[in-house]
């Protein structure tokens, strides 16, 4: 079992959130 450091998890989560936010912004632009 591989244990992931907390910092890594936080980084991954913030990247995911950022990408999701960007995608939402793009979708909003396209659906205007």
Could you report the per-residue pLDDT of 1-32, keeping only the tens digit for each? 788 899 999 999 999 999 999 999 999 988 87
Quickly list DSSP for 1-32.
-PPPPHHHHHHHHHHHHHHHHHHHHHHHHHT-
State the distance between the two ends of the chain, measured CA to CA, in whole angstroms: 47
Q: CA 6, CA 8: separation in Å to the nearest integer?
A: 5
What global pTM score does this model have?
0.64
Q: In angstroms, how far is CA 15 from the centroid of its own chain?
A: 4
């Amino acid at each position: 079992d591989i244990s992931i450091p907390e910092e890594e998890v936080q980084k991954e989560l913030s990247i995911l959130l950022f990408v999701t936010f960007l995608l939402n912004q793009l979708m909003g632009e396209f659906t205007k």
